[in-house]
């Protein structure tokens, strides 16, 4: 009897003894790093994810414009969020301030991580060689674009060229080392893994050969390697008419009505279909958010505003037809604008913009109108569909003019390219304008070019790089000029505020291999 019981128990245990394969449970939600990066479609999805990185608040989608436009003398922030505004006026207390500092760092390096994955895994994928090269070329271009921003904001940082793991401890590379890598990456996109000069409509928005050349030119220019910069820009200029050119209606550089046109060299493709948050999923937002932050009180947050001197500069010169420069109307919204532009639309979104200044307390503020969506909407939100043009042909023309004079070319020679930009908006050639004397010397030409760039390109994200390159942040004379336009520069300390502090938490946990920027 006992034996039977024992056998019975043994049998019961035996039946149910567990097989350790019961512990093998696959993740049904997502593919794994082990199974991915095998096919051509993996490679294509991989490069698409690199573009997806633009839809993050730390990029031009939202906050990066605060660094470049508002920190510069073109703009200001009078945000009621004091710390946010402080980070546009050289008053940095908490070096971990997420929306002003750490978020940029995070999103740039997130984007670099995605590029690094493509650059590491795609070469091993068995696929069409041309397609592979194009994918790698795009990843090189995008990685260079992000390291460019690292150098503009912090002037140094970790230089990471392969996907890292969680053990990674930040090690700093100098600005020079980062510039060298930017050059290497862009050259790779131009030569080894050649980008196409033009994509088909279905691929509109991808990086092109021209984008890589333009960015490489800008990288050289920023390092004052004018000769090399000039060569790169020349490639684009030689394609004027065939590939690049200035569009007739200047304002359509900032609307969703004429995107990826001949003037656009590289654009962030914004779209208002999705209305989600800025996550990494199928409903993630792909819209432009800055418009909401720059729109005046009652429409948007009025966190970013224009400095008045821009208005005054525009008004100094009439078009050849005697009217005011429409670029002013389309760049800045200011009190009494309707007097300068009698044919202008008094309505701005749902409000009458001619009556708000006293009633709604807009006072003497000047608002940033560039990239507004009032031409087709009555309200703002976080989903504007206008592409953000990171680089456009007009910018390259002006950069090219700078290269000409900096490499010993004549001001007349250089003025040809400035005049293209001026003529398009109805202004006379420099030589025939009230600024004719600017052609008298390289110095006077450069001063004029600096102003021409602001008038054409204000709030397009290049002013901060320009100020750095032109040395205005390096001496008291330059600083005095900036102070005269923007009182925030009273807080500016030369040798300190030329760059942001490195996120403190990153310095803290770097075991001394990433040091804080000087004087912070």
Q: Name residues contacting another protein, limited to 261-320 (CB under 8 A).
A: 269-271, 273-276, 280-284, 286, 292, 297, 301
Is 110 a binder of another protein (CB under 8 A)? Answer: yes
For another protein, the binding residue among 129, 166, 241, 408 (CB under 8 A) is 166
Is 376 a binder of another protein (CB under 8 A)? Answer: no
Distance separating alpha carbons of residues 502 and 474, to the nearest angstrom: 20
- Comparison of 200 and 241: residue with beta carbon closer to another protein: 200
Q: At what angle do helices 411-424 and 442-457 cross, to 10 degrees?
A: 20
- Comparison of 201 and 321: residue with beta carbon closer to another protein: 201
Q: How far is the CB of 174 from another protein (least distance, A)?
A: 15
Residues in 404-443 that interact with another protein by CB under 8 A: none
Q: Which DSSP state fits 62? A: T
Contact range with another protein by CB under 8 A, out of 21-29, 174-182, 392-400, 464-472: 21-29
In angstroms, the Cα distances linking 103 to 98, 106, 109, 367, 502 are 5, 5, 10, 25, 12
User: Pseudo-torsion of CA 126, 130, 136, 142, nearest 10°?
Assistant: -150
Q: How far is the CB of 407 from another protein (least distance, A)?
A: 36
Question: 198-201 — which CB contacts under 8 Å span 24+ positions?
Answer: 198/243
Q: How far is the CB of 382 from another protein (least distance, A)?
A: 5
Is 2 a binder of another protein (CB under 8 A)? Answer: yes
Residues in 457-516 that interact with another protein by CB under 8 A: 491, 493, 496, 503-511, 516
- Comparison of 185 and 506: residue with beta carbon closer to another protein: 506
3-state secondary structure string, 385-413? CCCEEEEEHHHHHHHHHHHHHHCCCCHHH
H helix or E strand, kind and range, residue 173: strand 172-174
For another protein, the binding residue among 40, 180, 204, 247 (CB under 8 A) is 204
For another protein, the binding residue among 29, 343, 364, 476 (CB under 8 A) is 29
Contact 43, 107 (CB under 8 A): no
Q: Which DSSP state fits 66? A: I
For residue 457, how many C-alpha atoms fall within 13 Å in the half-sphere facing its CB?
Answer: 29
Contact range with another protein by CB under 8 A, out of 11-19, 239-247, 409-417, 478-486: 11-19
Distance separating alpha carbons of residues 193 and 187, to the nearest angstrom: 9
For another protein, the binding residue among 61, 119, 160, 265 (CB under 8 A) is 160
Tokens (6 digits) for 439: 């052609």
Q: How far is the CB of 60 from another protein (least distance, A)?
A: 14
Is 106 a binder of another protein (CB under 8 A)? Answer: yes
Distance separating alpha carbons of residues 222 and 224, to the nearest angstrom: 5
Q: How far is the CB of 403 from another protein (least distance, A)?
A: 32
Contact 518, 496 (CB under 8 A): yes
Q: Is 76 helix (H, G, I), strand (E, B) or coil?
A: strand
Question: Across-strand partners of 391?
Answer: 266
Is 148 a binder of another protein (CB under 8 A)? Answer: no
Residues in 46-105 that interact with another protein by CB under 8 A: 46-52, 54-55, 78, 80-83, 86, 91, 93-96, 102, 105
Tokens (6 digits) for 221: 């220019």
Q: How far is the CB of 450 from another protein (least distance, A)?
A: 27
How many CB atoms neighbour CB 455 within 10 A? 20
Residues in 340-359 that interact with another protein by CB under 8 A: none
Question: Across-strand partners of 156?
Answer: 174
- Comparison of 315 and 505: residue with beta carbon closer to another protein: 505
Contact range with another protein by CB under 8 A, out of 113-121, 402-410, 434-442, 460-468: 113-121
Q: How far is the CB of 29 from another protein (least distance, A)?
A: 5
Question: Across-strand partners of 197?
Answer: none
Total binding residues for another protein by CB under 8 A?
113
Is 237 a binder of another protein (CB under 8 A)? Answer: no
Contact range with another protein by CB under 8 A, out of 43-51, 215-223, 402-410, 443-451: 43-51
Q: How far is the CB of 48 from another protein (least distance, A)?
A: 3
């Amino acid at each position: 009897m006992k034996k039977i019981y024992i056998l019975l128990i043994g049998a019961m245990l035996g039946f149910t003894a567990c097989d350790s394969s019961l512990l093998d449970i696959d993740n049904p939600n997502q593919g794994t790093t082990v199974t991915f990066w095998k096919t051509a479609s993996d490679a294509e999805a991989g490069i698409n994810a690199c573009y997806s990185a633009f839809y993050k608040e730390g990029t031009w989608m939202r906050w990066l414009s605060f660094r470049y436009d508002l920190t510069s003398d073109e703009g200001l922030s009078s945000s009621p969020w004091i710390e946010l505004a402080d980070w546009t006026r050289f008053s940095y207390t908490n070096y971990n301030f997420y929306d002003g500092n750490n978020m940029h760092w995070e999103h740039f390096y997130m984007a670099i991580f995605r590029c690094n994955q493509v650059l590491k895994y795609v070469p091993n994928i068995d696929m069409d060689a041309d397609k592979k090269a194009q994918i790698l070329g795009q990843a090189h271009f995008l990685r260079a674009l992000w390291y460019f921003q690292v150098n503009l904001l912090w002037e140094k940082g970790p230089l990471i060229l392969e996907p890292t793991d969680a053990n990674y401890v930040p090690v700093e590379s100098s600005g020079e080392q980062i510039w060298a890598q930017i050059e290497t990456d862009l050259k790779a996109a131009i030569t080894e893994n050649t980008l196409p000069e033009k994509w088909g409509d279905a691929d509109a928005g991808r990086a092109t050969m021209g984008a890589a050349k333009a960015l490489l030119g800008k990288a050289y220019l920023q390092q004052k390697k004018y000769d090399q910069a000039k060569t790169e820009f020349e490639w684009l200029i030689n394609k004027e008419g065939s590939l690049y050119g200035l569009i007739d209606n200047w304002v359509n550089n900032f609307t969703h009505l004429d995107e990826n046109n001949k003037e656009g060299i590289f654009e962030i493709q914004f779209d208002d279909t999705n209305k989600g948050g800025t996550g990494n999923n199928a409903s993630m937002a792909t819209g432009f958010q800055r418009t909401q932050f720059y729109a005046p009180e009652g429409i948007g947050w009025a966190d970013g505003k224009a400095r008045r001197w821009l208005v005054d500069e525009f008004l100094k010169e009439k078009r050849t037809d005697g009217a005011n420069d429409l670029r002013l109307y389309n760049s800045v919204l200011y009190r009494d604008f309707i007097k300068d532009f009698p044919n202008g639309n008094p309505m701005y979104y749902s409000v009458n913009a001619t009556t708000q200044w006293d009633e709604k307390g807009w006072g003497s503020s000047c608002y940033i109108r560039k990239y507004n969506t009032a031409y087709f909407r009555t309200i703002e939100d976080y989903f504007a569909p206008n592409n953000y043009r990171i680089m456009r042909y007009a910018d390259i023309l002006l950069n090219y003019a700078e290269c000409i004079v900096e490499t010993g070319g004549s001001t007349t020679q250089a003025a040809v390219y400035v005049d293209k930009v001026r003529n398009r908006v109805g202004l006379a050639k420099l030589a025939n304008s009230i600024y004719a004397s600017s052609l008298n010397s390289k110095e006077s030409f450069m001063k004029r070019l600096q102003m021409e760039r602001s008038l054409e390109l204000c709030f397009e994200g290049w002013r901060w790089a320009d100020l750095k390159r032109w040395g205005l942040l390096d001496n008291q004379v330059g600083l005095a000029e900036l102070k005269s336009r923007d009182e925030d520069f009273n807080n500016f300390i030369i040798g300190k505020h030329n760059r942001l502090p490195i996120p403190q938490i990153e310095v803290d946990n770097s075991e001394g291999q990433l040091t804080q920027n000087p004087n912070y």
